[in-house]
Every structure is written in C-alpha cells, then in structure tokens.
Amino acid sequence: MGNVVIKLGINEITEMKKYYSKQLVEKNPPGSVFSAKTPGCVITAYNSGKVLFQGNDSEKEAGRWGSVALSAGAGGAKKVVSSAKGDLPPGISQMSAIGSDEVGTGDFFGPITVVAAYVKKEHIPLLKELGVRDSKDLNDEKIIAIAKVIKDVVPFSLMTLKNDKYNKLQQSGMSQGKMKAILHNQAILNVLEKIAPNQPEAILIDQFVQPSTYFQHLKSQKAIAKEKVCFSTKAEGIHLAVAAASILARYAFVQYIDKLSEAAGFKIPKGAGAQVDVAAAKLIVSKGRDILPSFVKLHFANTDKAMALVNKRKF
C-alpha cells in the first residue's frame, strides 16, 4: 500500500474528474477539486495541481495520468517504489511504449491474433484524435476504420495462430496461456527489431497470467523480451499502445472471420454461444467433420454440442 503524488495542469484535472465521474466522493477535503474512490485507490486532486493517490492501486492509477512523480507525504519522506514485479512505472501513460494484446481466445471460430504496437509519446495526441481508445467501447465498424488509419502510423507486429496449428498445439498438451505468452513475446521481439535503434521506455502487456507464469511459459524460447516489460489488467486504459494493439488485433481477427465466412459460404458468428454450435453443425453437414479443425478451437465444448445437433437432426 503506497501513496503517489503527481502534479497536473487544470485541464488534466478536469479530464480526470470526468474520468472518475461515477466514483466521485461527495465530501471534498479542504482545498481539493475533487475526491474519488476506486476499489483499490482513493484519488484526491488539489487546487494546487497536486493529485494524491492512496491505496494498493495507487501506482497503477497514477500511471494513467503520467507526469512527474513527486514524493508523497509531509517532508517528502516517502519514495515511490516501482521495482516490484508487475508494478507499473509512474507516468507510463505518457511514455513511448510498446503495448500488446490478443483477440480470439474465447471465440470458438477463428484464430488467436496477437498484436504488439509501438506508440511514441509524440504520437499519443494524434492517436487520441484518430479515436484510439478501449476497443470494448468500439464496434467492429469503428475498429476497422481506425485500424486502417493507424496501421500506417504505428509500427506493429501481428501474430496469427491459425486453427489447425492451435488444435495441434492444444492436443499436444500446451495450454492456451502458454500459446499466448509465446505469441506476445514474439510480437514484442518483432516490434523491438522493427523500431531499432529506437527503444521503448516501457513494454506493457495486457495481463492474462501472473508475470511469473508468463516468464515460466517462455522458458524454452530462444529470445525473451524481459527488460522494461510490465503487466496490467485493463491495460488498454493505461497506455494507448495497448489500445492500438487491441484494435489492430481485433481488425485482423474480423478479417480472418470474413475469410472463414467466405470459405464456409455463410456468415461465421463470433463468441462461444449457441449460435456458433448451429454454425458449426451447418459447416459439418455441408463440408464434413474433417473441415472443423481449420475453422474452430476443437477443445471448446461447442464441438460436442455441434455434433449433437448434427446427430439429433439426423442430417
């Protein structure tokens, strides 16, 4: 549990207040602009421009807003500690960073797509203007439009784990977590090579496992990107590089689903709900069971459900 203090301008504090609008605390401490409470952090912004973050998530919350980290508390006795594994460096939001994220892990049809993208700090305002933000707030149409623009602005690497290969790895006993770790690592290495001799100030992975597990998964890899690597859940909201990576990964995934739809002769649905069972049954009936491994993630329960539908209907 720690305290972090950062100093911001009034515009940023106004933006912050908007951001935390649903978590504002009614009573403001004297001299403060607002006070807000998230599950892991109390945030208080003062008229002086100082913003105090208190609680377990203080560094992570402060990281969203960047700027210089000052020492907290009277006399500046406390220091910001950010060396522990998994912690974010203060001010990460405003750094030149590589971000990475994946799409498709929960979808029965289609591949896993992982993208690592590099966003220079000078590009952050431009990307904001282009509409880059949390892809969960964007529909496919918007994601495609934004992706088409940023793919020429942002250096990135796309890794696509197609269904055939995915199923082989899965049947050989590899966990989805390990597949993802390998893909993220490779995408990050590719971007590091692309942007060299430039180097990112941080590498932020949208967290899907504990950092120790992530690196455990990578043990057999020839090269491992480890320096400056940090993890956070909901990392899309922390650095635009992750948001950009997420948008590009979703774009690639949507394109791949379109290709599968074309091959199937009908629209392939996303997700893992009942609609994918029906689509898979339809596919089995028209193309045969053997086509399935190149379309779906076989170990999902949907495979059996689709077969049951085929058998029930006595096609």
Tell which one of 61, 101, 107, 277 touches Mn ion (CB under 5 A): 101
Nearer to Mn ion (CB atom), residue 206 or residue 277? 206
Site size for Mn ion, by CB under 5 A?
2
Residue 8 structure tokens: 């911001």
**C-alpha to C-alpha distance for 180 and 168, rounded to whole angstroms:** 15
For position 107 contacting Mn ion by CB under 5 A, the verdict is no
Which residues is 38 bridged to in the sheet? Answer: 41
Q: Residues near 95 by Cβ (< 8 Å), separated by ≥ 6? A: 66, 89, 121, 200, 201, 202, 239
Instruction: Determine the interface stretch with Mn ion among 72-80, 202-210, 254-262, 302-310 (rule: CB under 5 A).
Output: 202-210
Instruction: Determine the interface stretch with Mn ion among 47-55, 78-86, 100-108, 301-309 (rule: CB under 5 A).
Output: 100-108
Instruction: Determine the interface stretch with Mn ion among 37-45, 160-168, 206-214, 289-297 (rule: CB under 5 A).
Output: 206-214
**C-alpha to C-alpha distance for 146 and 139, rounded to whole angstroms:** 11
| Shortest Å distance, C-beta 101 to Mn ion | 4
Instruction: Determine the interface stretch with Mn ion among 42-50, 95-103, 140-148, 265-273 (rule: CB under 5 A).
Output: 95-103
Range 105-108 contact pairs with CB under 8 angstroms and sequence separation of 24 or more = 105/176, 105/180, 105/208, 106/271, 106/272, 107/253, 107/270, 107/271, 107/272, 107/276, 107/297, 108/271, 108/272, 108/276, 108/280, 108/296, 108/297, 108/300, 108/302
**C-alpha to C-alpha distance for 80 and 159, rounded to whole angstroms:** 36
| Shortest Å distance, C-beta 137 to Mn ion | 14
**C-alpha to C-alpha distance for 301 and 125, rounded to whole angstroms:** 44
| Shortest Å distance, C-beta 253 to Mn ion | 12
| Shortest Å distance, C-beta 314 to Mn ion | 41
Binding mask 256-285 for Mn ion (x = CB under 5 A): ------------------------------
List Cα–Cα distances, 233 to 28, 100, 167, in angstroms.
29, 12, 27
Nearer to Mn ion (CB atom), residue 97 or residue 281? 97
Instruction: Determine the interface stretch with Mn ion among 51-59, 79-87, 97-105, 260-268 (rule: CB under 5 A).
Output: 97-105
Which residue type sits at 268?
I
**C-alpha to C-alpha distance for 156 and 249, rounded to whole angstroms:** 10
Q: Are strands 41-46 and 32-38 parallel, antiparallel or unpaired?
A: antiparallel
| Shortest Å distance, C-beta 229 to Mn ion | 15
Tell which one of 109, 206, 244, 284 touches Mn ion (CB under 5 A): 206
| Shortest Å distance, C-beta 135 to Mn ion | 9
| Shortest Å distance, C-beta 177 to Mn ion | 12
Q: What angle do CA 198, 80, 93 make, to 5 degrees?
A: 40
| Shortest Å distance, C-beta 103 to Mn ion | 8
Instruction: Determine the interface stretch with Mn ion among 62-70, 119-127, 201-209, 299-307 (rule: CB under 5 A).
Output: 201-209
Nearest residue to the partner Mn ion, using Cβ: 206
Which residues of this chain interact with Mn ion, rule CB under 5 A?
101, 206
